[in-house]
A and B are shown apart, each in its own frame.
Chain A
């Protein structure tokens, strides 16, 4: 047993280095995509201190809107532009109808409100688009298909072009967001709002405007996530489950850190793929779901605030 746990997996890695590279690559792609989902959560948490339970369904709604519009005959790029508009309208509506009346209420109230938003969007999505799965319009969005086979390390490593595109787009998205938060006036205002609603209001920052911007940005992140995950499988309400993968990423990376979401996503993505592939067979497989949480909890033992989360010191 000790051999199977502590020796055999490493023997396998040495024997089949091409497969090791393949596992690392698959983990990296999954990690980047987890990071994208986590980013949506981080954005809203930073601005309002609320864990947005609706982020998963926003991914589904954005992807369904895009594909649904295209099915109705709208050209792909126009459908993409309209979907961006729909996500803005959604952000504006949420701010007007849900958030504004709840300013200065306890965080738990806002958290529960996001439950309500979730079920409302589920109902709305099913009412408009039905429950049937749809195929992502990969070609129409000029996303690449096919694979690049690289013969290396005595074997073959396959890189899907779509996965490469996903990694590049997610990377660019993260870079843009980092610049947006650090270098722009709105980004700085957003960080002020995250620290204290009242203090931000007292220096003239419009809370309402910031919330619309943040929810809209989270909507854009949801759209990109939906396109990428949808192209890898299909566009259906099953996609909302994937949002759960952001939880261990957030625990690990911290709820307020953009770099934390990225590094956390990569650690979880690679960690769970390595764990499932090399250690999963020892316990019958299917360990990915809880392994991600185990990894996150182990990190928490050493850094309770997460990898990059803010250490909260309160005066008493």
Chain B
């Protein structure tokens, strides 16, 4: 009996593992986190990512005739669990891995180079990974954390009346005391020297995310003029609440795109009105692509996300992320002529990604996102973002699309990539660049 069970189990396991290798299917694992202290932010993203890919399966039968095999692995936003997830999925021939955590991304960077699996850390992870010459397997479009911080400084300069007015100002970085939170510090330090403002750092330890009294009292003592919030999870609604409690002008508190969830601003209740956050995609359900998700996935009961919340900021973030995955696969298919592309093909697809306005319109994403172009040398693109503002009920556009200060950010990224390569005895790139990229 036991032998029979074992045999049946082995047959089932073999059958499952061959699914990914089947000729007309493409295996796309999603490292997500629906549990733990950061689950509040992780759930809408995971559902947005899943629902877009599922919609492609339901509406189009997959991508270019190849069906997508979608599998989630729960990381709990824990680096150790994330690496375990990566190890668990890598044997199933994934064409791409989305770590969904800067900490996990940092651990996977060396592994991905050995395993030859492209890592898409969409607008998170190591900023220097934008340098394709050094990191051929890592991609972080549409903007790095350094781009985000530069847009914040540009926004402050605009509101203050010019870059020369930044001199003498106090600009604070309220950040999670973790790799993700610390990522923009080098850029802001460089800008502080260049523009003459004083940078104040307010680290929030993970176990103090919901008790930021000390940090906000320090803001009050320092008379900080502007705050950039590099926060995540439960830290964000608390930051908004504390800002309101301390009478900090809400329109001078600007979050990175990960601090721009609906629950983040809503958590601030009435005091949250006016809170700002960067964003690089549309919010709301009034886009053809979201309507297609509703029709082909939500209405059929295939989504786990509450119907009335479809279109919220972080849900759409997941949709945007999956759009990048899908377009990389589609581009890989065009480049190779194959239906069932592999990881190397998708890496090439990412390096040739060129999502134009026309293509966005075809996908039902006109006005939802700005065009994205990634090349062999530039794995990010340093694309435009905008400042969203909470009106008390929902996010609204608080600015036009703003270009990051690429001319300043790019040399710093290249220097950081060079430094990384030297310190880690990093191998030289051996992957050839496609002509069109």
A binding-site residues for B, Cβ under 8 Å: 12, 16, 19, 22-23, 26, 29-30, 122, 126, 130-133, 135, 147, 158, 160, 229, 232-234, 236-242, 244-245, 272-273, 276-277, 280-281, 284-286, 288-289
In the complex the two chains form, is B214's CB within 8 Å of A276's CB? yes
Can you spell out 6 A-B residue pairs with CB atoms less than 8 angstroms apart?
A131-B35, A241-B206, A242-B210, A280-B218, A286-B203, A288-B205
**How many whole Å from A135's CB to the nearest CB in chain B?**
7
Partner of B214, one of A122, A130, A241, A288: A288
Query: Any chain A CB within 8 A of the CB of B357?
Result: no
In the complex the two chains form, is A131's CB within 8 Å of B234's CB? no
Give chain B residues whose Cβ lies under 8 Å from the Cβ of A29: 213
With CB as the reference atom, state the residue of chain A lying closest to B42: A131
* Cα(A52)–Cα(B358), bound, Å: 59
User: Which residues of B (190-240) have their CB < 8 Å from a CB of A?
Assistant: 201-211, 213-215, 217-218, 220-221, 233-234, 237-238
In the complex the two chains form, is B234's CB within 8 Å of A19's CB? no
The answer to whether A277 and B269 touch (CB under 8 A), given A126-B35, A289-B207, is no
* Cα(A244)–Cα(B208), bound, Å: 10
**9 extra interchain contacts, Cβ-Cβ under 8 A, other than A229-B210, A236-B39, A280-B214?**
A23-B214, A126-B39, A132-B43, A234-B238, A238-B40, A238-B234, A245-B207, A273-B214, A289-B205
Give chain B residues whose Cβ lies under 8 Å from the Cβ of A233: 209-211, 234, 237-238, 241, 267
* Cα(A142)–Cα(B133), bound, Å: 60
Give chain A residues whose Cβ lies under 8 Å from the Cβ of B287: none
Query: Any chain A CB within 8 A of the CB of B177?
Result: yes
Query: Any chain A CB within 8 A of the CB of B61?
Result: no
* Cα(A308)–Cα(B201), bound, Å: 38
* Cα(A130)–Cα(B238), bound, Å: 20
In the complex the two chains form, is A286's CB within 8 Å of B207's CB? no
With CB as the reference atom, state the residue of chain B lying closest to A130: B43
Give chain B residues whose Cβ lies under 8 Å from the Cβ of A232: 210-211, 238, 241
* Cα(A289)–Cα(B207), bound, Å: 7
* Cα(A160)–Cα(B213), bound, Å: 12
In the complex the two chains form, is A19's CB within 8 Å of B221's CB? yes
User: Which residues of B (14-46) have their CB < 8 Å from a CB of A?
Assistant: 34-40, 42-44
**How many whole Å from B163's CB to the nearest CB in chain A?**
27
Partner of B204, one of A133, A236, A273, A286: A286
* Cα(A101)–Cα(B27), bound, Å: 47
Query: Any chain A CB within 8 A of the CB of B58?
Result: no
With CB as the reference atom, state the residue of chain B lying closest to A125: B35
In the complex the two chains form, is A236's CB within 8 Å of B40's CB? yes
Top 3 nearest A-B pairs by Cβ distance? A238-B234, A131-B39, A286-B203
With CB as the reference atom, state the residue of chain B lying closest to A22: B217
- Tally of contacts, chain A with chain B, CB under 8 A: 126
* Cα(A22)–Cα(B218), bound, Å: 11
Give chain B residues whose Cβ lies under 8 Å from the Cβ of A244: 207
B binding-site residues for A, Cβ under 8 Å: 34-40, 42-44, 177, 201-211, 213-215, 217-218, 220-221, 233-234, 237-238, 241, 245-246, 263, 266-267, 269
**How many whole Å from B74's CB to the nearest CB in chain A?**
10
Which secondary structure dominates chain B's binding surface?
Answer: helix
**How many whole Å from B218's CB to the nearest CB in chain A?**
6
* Cα(A277)–Cα(B234), bound, Å: 22
In the complex the two chains form, is A19's CB within 8 Å of B245's CB? no
Partner of A158, one of B38, B203, B245, B269: B245
**How many whole Å from A136's CB to the nearest CB in chain B?**
10
The answer to whether A26 and B214 touch (CB under 8 A), given A135-B267, A244-B207, is yes
The answer to whether A30 and B211 touch (CB under 8 A), given A158-B245, A232-B241, is yes
Partner of A237, one of B35, B213, B221: B35
Q: Which of B35, B177, B213, B234 has the most chain A CB atoms inside 10 A of its CB? A: B213
Give chain A residues whose Cβ lies under 8 Å from the Cβ of B267: 133, 135, 233-234
* Cα(A133)–Cα(B309), bound, Å: 13
* Cα(A233)–Cα(B177), bound, Å: 18
With CB as the reference atom, state the residue of chain B lying closest to A147: B245
* Cα(A273)–Cα(B263), bound, Å: 27
**How many whole Å from B56's CB to the nearest CB in chain A?**
25
In the complex the two chains form, is A234's CB within 8 Å of B234's CB? yes
**How many whole Å from A154's CB to the nearest CB in chain B?**
14
The answer to whether A286 and B39 touch (CB under 8 A), given A19-B221, A273-B213, A277-B214, is no
In the complex the two chains form, is A288's CB within 8 Å of B241's CB? no
**How many whole Å from A277's CB to the nearest CB in chain B?**
6
Partner of B35, one of A19, A122, A147: A122
In the complex the two chains form, is A237's CB within 8 Å of B208's CB? no
**How many whole Å from A83's CB to the nearest CB in chain B?**
20
The answer to whether A285 and B202 touch (CB under 8 A), given A233-B241, A233-B267, is yes
**How many whole Å from A61's CB to the nearest CB in chain B?**
14
Give chain A residues whose Cβ lies under 8 Å from the Cβ of B217: 19, 22-23, 26, 273, 277
Give chain B residues whose Cβ lies under 8 Å from the Cβ of A26: 213-214, 217
* Cα(A183)–Cα(B389), bound, Å: 56
**How many whole Å from A17's CB to the nearest CB in chain B?**
12
Give chain A residues whose Cβ lies under 8 Å from the Cβ of B38: 238
In the complex the two chains form, is A236's CB within 8 Å of B214's CB? no
**How many whole Å from A151's CB to the nearest CB in chain B?**
14
* Cα(A229)–Cα(B237), bound, Å: 13
* Cα(A24)–Cα(B245), bound, Å: 17
Give chain B residues whose Cβ lies under 8 Å from the Cβ of A242: 207, 210-211
* Cα(A147)–Cα(B242), bound, Å: 12
**How many whole Å from B344's CB to the nearest CB in chain A?**
35
**How many whole Å from B406's CB to the nearest CB in chain A?**
29
In the complex the two chains form, is B263's CB within 8 Å of A133's CB? yes
In the complex the two chains form, is B209's CB within 8 Å of A241's CB? yes
With CB as the reference atom, state the residue of chain A lying closest to B239: A233
With CB as the reference atom, state the residue of chain B lying closest to A245: B207
* Cα(A273)–Cα(B208), bound, Å: 11
Give chain A residues whose Cβ lies under 8 Å from the Cβ of B221: 12, 16, 19, 277
* Cα(A22)–Cα(B245), bound, Å: 13
Give chain A residues whose Cβ lies under 8 Å from the Cβ of B263: 132-133, 234
**How many whole Å from A159's CB to the nearest CB in chain B?**
11
